[in-house]
Structure 1
């Protein structure tokens, strides 16, 4: 299990050893969770290399980044004690590139979190707040309509319809209704200007994120910051996938051949099986002792 960053110590005889520790374990979900210590720096560290990957080769992330991070750490922990043996592996194996996977997976956790905080897939909290504001303003609008203060036609139009997108549009329409009749409703409702402004803002934000229903409807374009965050995330994911296969998995296959999954789990493996040790010996019965596998 990864450990928290070590406290910086004064320079000494062994001060150059183990001064950088991996941050605490990744959160169960990236969306809404605080970024791991050092994860933003890790993402920036690999972004230049990730941007050099041709666009046609980018793979979209469809995985749990916490699981990926965990499996990377499990694999690195497994091969770590046997680095001396891995030096026999020919190119394209690179020990430094393999060891960098810990930082790279940390950067991916951060990059994924940036998308999740603003993407259509994680608008649950925004929708909950929109529901609250819509109910608040609509209740007041109905009361004012019955009192003859607000036009019945506009209020009834807002009341009609159903679904998340219609509810979000109601937020925009209700805010505009109260703004258009600000003079008439002044002193006759507990609704505040701040609540009206918040309702309008959250409605506009959600309309930019929610796609219209039906194949004939125009496609909603994601806001530019979201598009940029998605691209950064997917580029880091593509880089990590390549490096994991070329370096860490290659090292695992060199050391354990057919039992590689028990020591170096695939990126999306849900459980990492422990390899059985024959007769109490310290090495797996299928440990490689010959020439490197060129396959």
Structure 2
């Protein structure tokens, strides 16, 4: 298999449909604008973000049914190199609607269909064969997948010397940290759960992150603070970057854009401070656009320059 510096894995991709409408009234027909379709799912969005910055990655994702075929076409249209793992069940769809008068955003996410035992094995065998510096495991798990499935994938990749970056939540994240990975990106609420705390105040974030690092759960912990920015903590370094103030149109894809910016910066041998700056710049730039189109490169570059 050809070697790639960055590979992303999306087990539970989605065909994202977004539209605008005016007036939300129960039991009445809601007239919507012509929909926009985007390829969605954590790893796919990370690959899209990397491509927007001029980088390259291999995007490995599952695909099934007519929705999967449309997803594949959308990924190809982004100019992203991909490897498809065919599935018996159809790829899920998500729906995002924007109300014109209130500017409110409604996001409807559907569960991903189950993978067969043969399809699960194909995923593992695919990871055994890859050659890369960074593997990004991003997004939710399909219905029926055990919560330790990311852990299995991470262990398989680490055995080949690959640095594993994980962006998921809940028990799936907790399980993968039992064996340790290179980088994780929880928000402050998720970080609290990982150390079994009821809640965390901002001054407690660094100590909480270092608790995970000392346990061997991760080498780098990047804590997303939403509109406030983010904190990066490693064994010997802590960095905080405030998010630039922008006019927010949508938060869809902001987290994936942040991960994409960071892994791209890592692949370019940037300092950890620059890695965080690129992550915050790309994540913030994504909020300036509607739908699931992520960010514009010129916005991210301008924000990065302002942060510096």
TM tier, smaller: under 0.3
Normalised by the length of structure 1, the TM-score is 0.22
**Larger RCO (CA under 8 A, 6+ residues apart):** 1
Which one has a larger percent strand, Structure 1 or Structure 2?
A: 2
Normalised by the length of structure 2, the TM-score is 0.21
Which one has a larger percent helix, Structure 1 or Structure 2?
A: 1
